[in-house]
Each structure stands twice: as structure tokens, then as C-alpha cells.
Amino acid sequence: MTANRSSNVMTLFLLRHGQSELNHENIFCGWIDAKLTDKGKEQARHSAELIKQYCKANNLKLPQIGYTSRLIRTQQTIETMCEEFKLKPQLQIVYDFNKIKLGDEFGSDKKDNMKIPILQTWRLNERHYGSWQGQRKPNVLEEYGKDKYMFIRRDYEGKPPPVDLDREMIQQENEKGSSTGYEFKEPNRQIKYELECSNHEIVLPDSESLREVVYRLNPFLQNVILKLANQYDESSCLIVGHGSSVRSLLKILEGISDDDIKNVDIPNGIPLVVELDKNDGLKFIRKFYLDPESAKINAEKVRNEGFVKNP
């Protein structure tokens, strides 16, 4: 898709990570660290190619900065995309908004065009699915029934039961599997999120509604993503998140109502272009997928997860 470009437009390339091992198994993944499947890596390469084509057609630079969650599947997605872009990712975990280091050359003519800073934050993590994490969606649907299942899964206020971290989090770095019936477990937070846990202002969740995802993500959007876009007059950036974190970004940027957001479904591995007006406080202009037909088909598959078996 070709659009009329303007120097007054800031472009966000939003992307839900490529297919993960647990997406493939129709399992609620949440904060479990599932890796990409081969299909997921191919989706990431294809997404990079679509973005390259769009940038070339619209005389737009490749993304100048990238953002991911702290979960492996988004990191693998953006690293695979950087390979296609022929850029070297410079990874940095953000646990304090005041401790971001982009390098003196960022945003200047001295910038190393082969490098791209990638800021990683727990605030872009998938919604925490509480005790539903690691559970197969058809089994949860059967246990809760269609109405309650869809309310918890899709409604803005819907929230699963909290996780019991003593049972559903890996207690030792080398622990494999579980003797308590949970085949898939969340990484030990004291190890994986050591930096975040050292910041006493951060409280990591044990279950979340979409409202709570919006609440924890909005400060990062305002104080990091949009602030840096203004500060360095960026033309574009790349954000690789998850179904719920991408939905949350759209809700904030586009002003989607609490009721309408439940009808927004995000497919894996298809770039969504969001344009913001630099002359009007980075106000939302429009959004569109770079592969709209595939996005429509795969978004419908996302909505039906739990009701039909994955192919």
C-alpha cells in the first residue's frame, strides 16, 4: 500500500510477534517464555520485507528505534527482522524511564546507520492471564462456558483468576516441567526480572484485565516512545508486542472506546501502520495493515481460538 508521505507524519510500525510454540498449541501464553516456531520466524522475515517495501515506496527511512516486551517471542521477532533490515540491534532493558541510554550519536548525522537501539520493557508484555496461563484454550472454554470465557478473554474489564506463583512459576533456573499439573510455567521473576524487581515502584501482576494492561503501558508510551519521537524528530519506529499490548496501544492512540476494543483482534506477524501528526501533538491520523487481506483472515482466527482446533 502506498501513501502520501509528509515530514509532519510520525509512523509507528506495530506488530504482534510471530507465531510462538504455545500459539501453535492453542495455549494461553501470557508471561510464559515461549519461543518462535519456524513459521513465526518466517512471519518476522515477511514482516520486515513488507516494511522495507513500504519505506522504499514512500521515501521513508527504516525504523530508527525499536521496542519489544521482555518476552523471548518478541525479542526473536525483532532480531529476525533486524537481520532482514541488515541492522545490528543494540538491546537495552528499560526499568527506569530516567536511565535510557541511546548513545550520543543517536538522532544526529553521526549515527551509525548499521545499528538500531532496541528498548525492552515489561510494560509491553502480553496481558498476564493469571491461572489461565499454560492452559489449553478449549479446556478453559469447556470449564467456564462460552459467555464467561469470552467476557474474561475479550471484555475490557474481564480478568482471569490470579496465578499461584508458588505452583505456576519456575522456582529454580533448571526446573523442567511441573509435578502440579502445569506443563508450561512462567520464568522465575527474581531471575528474569531482576532489574524490574530492584525498582520498588514496579509491581508485577499475577492477573490482568485489558484495562490494567492499558494502565501499565500508557506511561511507557507517553514518557518513552512518544517523548523520544518528539525529542529526536523520528520519522518511524518499530514496536513488537503481543495481542493485548498492541490492542492497548491502539486504544490509547486511536481513542477506541472500552466497549469497542473487545472487537479488535490482532493477527500474528502482520505489520500495522499507525500514522501520527507531528504538528498536532502526535495525534492519531489513520491506521492500516500492510497486508490487509491476510490480516482480516488471521484476525478472525484469533477471535475463534478455543472454539476451533488450530490447523
At 253-295, the pLDDT tens digits run: 999 999 999 999 999 999 999 999 999 999 999 999 999 999 8
User: Is 241 annotated for ligand binding?
Assistant: no
Amino acid sitting at position 142 = E
**Residue 306 confidence (pLDDT):** 67
Q: Which residue is catalytic, options 17, 168, 208, 234? A: 17
User: Is 23 annotated for ligand binding?
Assistant: yes
- 3-state SS assignment for residue 157: coil
User: Is 7 annotated for ligand binding?
Assistant: no
Q: Which of 8, 6, 4, 16 is nearest to 271 (CA)?
A: 16
- For 13, phi then psi, to 5°, come to -95, 110
- pTM of the full predicted structure? 0.92
Average pLDDT score over residue span 91-120: 83
Q: Is the pLDDT of residue 310 over 70?
A: no
Split at pLDDT 50, 70, 90, the class of 309 is low
**Residue 206 confidence (pLDDT):** 95
Split at pLDDT 50, 70, 90, the class of 177 is very low
Average pLDDT score over residue span 204-225: 97
Q: Is the pLDDT of residue 188 over 60?
A: yes
Split at pLDDT 50, 70, 90, the class of 5 is low
**Residue 298 confidence (pLDDT):** 85
Q: Is the pLDDT of residue 176 over 70?
A: no
User: Is 24 annotated for ligand binding?
Assistant: no
Q: Which of 280, 223, 292 is nearest to 10 (CA)?
A: 280
Question: Active site includes 46?
Answer: no
Question: Active site includes 183?
Answer: no
User: Is 20 annotated for ligand binding?
Assistant: yes
**Residue 175 confidence (pLDDT):** 53
User: Is 70 annotated for ligand binding?
Assistant: no
- For the chain, what's the residue count? 311
> How many Å apart are CA 34 and CA 116, to the nearest integer?
25
Residue percentage of the chain with pLDDT more than 70 = 91
- Domains present along the chain, CATH in parentheses: 9-303 (3.40.50.1240)
Residue percentage of the chain with pLDDT more than 90 = 76
Q: Are strands 272-277 and 236-241 parallel, antiparallel or unpaired?
A: unpaired
Q: Which residue is catalytic, options 49, 79, 84, 126? A: 126
Half-sphere exposure of 297 (CA within 13 A, CB side): 6
**Residue 103 confidence (pLDDT):** 76
